[in-house]
Chain A
C-alpha cells in the first residue's frame, strides 16, 4: 500500500511566523505535489516536483516555497504566514498507471489555522 504521511494533522500559527509542512512518501515516487483545499474552490495546486531538487510553480505559488532534498520528502514552507493561508493542505505523490495516466495518492492533510 502506498503511504503518504504529513507531519501534522492540525497546526495553529501566528501571523508572520515561518511554517514548515512536511510530507513523506514511501513508494519511491518521482512526482510530489502540494495543494490547498478551500470550500467552494476545490483543490488548487501550489507547487510540484518531478525529481530531487527540482520544483515547479503550480497555480497559486505566491507566499509559498518548497524544498525537495530527498526523493521521499517534499516540504512546503510559508515564509511569513498570513490569515488568508488558513486552509487544508494536502500533499500527494503520483504513480504511473498506463496510457499516460498517473494516479495521485494523498496524505491525510494538515489543517492550518493562522491567527
Chain B
C-alpha cells in the first residue's frame, strides 16, 4: 500500500464549480500535512499547509481528519488558472524535514 494515496483524476470541471480532492495516508504517526501544486512541466510549489483545525486561504479550504487518516482540499469558484496537478504531501514521523508525496490529482478547469 502506498504511503500517500490520491485519486489521479483527471477532474474536468467548468469554471465556477466547486471541486474537492481527498488524500489518504497510511502512517498514523505522520506529523505534518500539505498541499502542493504543480503546473504542467513545472516544479511543485507549496499551496497550503493543512492544520488539525482546518484552514482556509481565499477560495481554498484544507481539512485534516486524523482519525480516518485523510486530508481534503476544496476549491470554490474554480478559475481556469487553477488547472494543475495537486499533490498531497505528508511528513513521516521521526523526521519533519522529509516529505512523502502522493502521485497527484490532475484538475482541468474548462471555460
A residues with a Cβ closer than 8 A to B are 31, 33, 35, 40-45, 48, 50, 58, 90, 94, 97, 99-104, 106-109
| A-B pairs with beta carbons under 8 Å apart, 6 shown | A33-B98, A43-B87, A43-B101, A94-B97, A101-B32, A101-B91
A45 to B90 CA separation, bound complex (whole angstroms) = 13
Q: Which of B42, B96, B97, B100 meets A108, CB within 8 Å?
A: B42
Smallest Cβ-Cβ distance to A42: which chain B residue? B103
Question: Which residues of B from 13 to 37 have beta carbons under 8 Å from A?
Answer: 31-32, 34
Known: A41-B103, A42-B102. A103 touches B46 (CB 8 A): yes
Q: Does B99 contact A (CB under 8 A)?
A: yes
Decide: A97 near B49, CB < 8 A? Known: A42-B101, A90-B43, A109-B43.
yes
Q: Which residues of B contact A (CB under 8 A)?
A: 4, 8, 31-32, 34, 42-46, 49, 87, 91, 96-104
Contact, CB under 8 Å: A100 / B43: no
Contact indicator B98/A45 (Cβ below 8 Å): yes
Inter-chain contact A101/B44, CB cutoff 8 Å: no
- Whole-angstrom CA separation of A94 from B98 in the bound complex: 9
Roughly how many angstroms separate A91 CA and B31 CA in the complex, as a whole number? 23
Instruction: Check A104–B99 contact: CB distance below 8 A.
Output: yes
Cβ contact within 8 Å between A107 and B43: yes
Min C-beta distance of A11 to chain B, whole Å: 15
Of the candidates B31, B42, B46, B103, the one whose C-beta lies within 8 Å of that of A104 is B46
What B residues does A101 contact at CB under 8 A? 32, 34, 49, 91, 96
9 additional contacts, CB 8 Å, given A50-B97, A106-B44?
Answer: A33-B98, A35-B101, A44-B101, A48-B97, A97-B49, A100-B96, A101-B49, A102-B91, A106-B45
Contacts of A107 in B (CB 8 A): 43
